[in-house]
Amino acid sequence: MTEQAMTPAAKAFDWQSVALVPIAIFVALGAVPLVAFLTGGNYLLSLFTQVMIFAIAALALDLIVGYGGLVSFGHAAFVGLGAYAVGILASHGIVDAFVALPAAILLAAAFAYVTGFVCLRTRGVHFIMITLAFGQMAFFTASSLAPYGGDDGLTIHGRSLVVGYALLRDERVFYYVVFASLLGAYLLCRAIVASRFGRVFRGARGNPTRTMTMGYDVHRFQHVGYTISGAIGGLAGFLLANATQFVSPAYMSWQRSGELIIMVLFGGLGTLSGAIVGAGAYVLLEQWLAGLTEHWKVIFGPLLVLVVLFARGGLLGLVAAMLGGGRRG
């Protein structure tokens, strides 16, 4: 990642420019199936599949929050819509991934595109509240879908087929499909941030008036970025529905949107690698602390506050400080 492609928050640890951090992340994730095989259990596969799915959703959110300055508190709606696209199609006997995946992405992107016309006419806390309102609208709509389970959710009897074959039902195959999806989402976001579009998108965050005077339609660029973020959220929803074989309105709740924001902040706002690290740290800490006490959030909450207050740039910023305050690659 070039220095020009970074937000001010990311410049404190631009040692990522040598790409060692994302390489280390993906090498470690790629080795999980081998470790699971050697330990003789599929628990690690299931756990890190969940980590990667939430990492995709966190990447989608970090794209607009970290680089566009658009703090969305309803981003879980895109994940939930993607999941419901899979569940509703499956309930009607349409179980092919080549149908369900485009449907999930297009539904989430369409929702982002339509709601973006309203959301992006606001700024600051007003943008936060209106995205929350649209997210809750999706939540209550899903809760009212009695034919598809309503509040109780909808069970999916088996994962999506691939041209008639049940390839995704093999845990390792599904793991690597999720792995490839995360890698693709990361590379897409990285390409967007480094592109001319990304420079304008980030410029609109820092100084929208100046960007407009240079002849760019700030609203249009933000609208496109918001729609792309929604589409990536739909991809996460497709994978989540297949991983759990269940969809629920809870996927769209404001609490889940809050968790995604925490993941982004925890890892490092405005750093794509940080979104992945934050998602992993959140899920793994949740699993570990939940095993210690049912009141794990009482421990996790102060821990998050300490990271935000004393670790500039989240966990990645903390690591950079420990390695010397931010090296330049």
> How confident is the model at residue 39, as a pLDDT?
82
Q: Is the model's pLDDT at 162 over the cut of 60?
A: yes
Domain ranges, residue 109:
3-322
Q: Is the model's pLDDT at 182 over the cut of 60?
A: yes
The confidence band for 323, taking pLDDT boundaries of 50, 70 and 90, is: low
Q: Is residue 32 part of a domain?
A: yes
Q: Is the model's pLDDT at 294 over the cut of 70?
A: yes
Q: Is residue 327 part of a domain?
A: no
Q: Is residue 160 part of a domain?
A: yes
Q: Is residue 328 part of a domain?
A: no
| The one-letter amino acid at 69 | G
Measure Cα distances from 94 to 57, 91, 161, 243 in Å: 25, 7, 9, 17
Q: Closest Cα partner for 185 from 133, 256, 233, 238? A: 233
CA–CA gap between residue 226 and residue 52 (Å, rounded): 21
Q: pLDDT tens, 100-126?
A: 999 999 999 999 999 999 998 888 889
Residues 293, 298, 302: CA angle, nearest 5 degrees: 135
Q: pLDDT tens, 274-288?
A: 899 999 999 998 888
Q: Is residue 106 part of a domain?
A: yes
Q: Closest Cα partner for 200 from 169, 234, 223? A: 223
pTM score: 0.89
> How confident is the model at residue 12, as a pLDDT?
44
Q: Is residue 104 part of a domain?
A: yes
The residue that leads in pLDDT, 309 or 185, is: 185
The confidence band for 227, taking pLDDT boundaries of 50, 70 and 90, is: very high
CATH label of the domain that carries residue 13: 1.10.3470
pLDDT averaged over every residue in the chain: 86
* Range 197-202, long-range pairs (CB < 8 A, 24+ positions): 197/221, 197/224, 197/225, 198/5, 198/67, 199/4, 199/5, 201/67, 201/68, 201/225, 202/7, 202/67, 202/68
Q: pLDDT tens, 250-271?
A: 999 988 998 999 899 888 888 8
Measure Cα distances from 95 to 83, 164, 177 in Å: 13, 9, 17
CB atoms inside a 10 Å sphere around CB 164: 8
Q: Is residue 329 part of a domain?
A: no
Q: Closest Cα partner for 69 from 2, 125, 146? A: 125
CA–CA gap between residue 73 and residue 133 (Å, rounded): 9
CA–CA gap between residue 30 and residue 232 (Å, rounded): 21
> How confident is the model at residue 63, as a pLDDT?
93
What percent of the chain shows pLDDT beyond 70? Answer: 91
The confidence band for 42, taking pLDDT boundaries of 50, 70 and 90, is: confident
Give the count of domains, the chain.
Answer: 1
CB of 236 within 8 A of CB of 54? yes
Torsion angle in degrees (nearest 10) through CA of 72, 78, 79, 82: -170
Q: Is residue 58 part of a domain?
A: yes
CA–CA gap between residue 296 and residue 291 (Å, rounded): 8
Q: Closest Cα partner for 78 from 223, 186, 235, 224? A: 235
Q: pLDDT tens, 20-33?
A: 888 889 999 999 99
CB of 189 within 8 A of CB of 64? no
Measure Cα distances from 134 to 118, 181, 227, 263 in Å: 10, 27, 14, 21
| Counts of helices then strands in the chain (DSSP H, E) | 13, 2
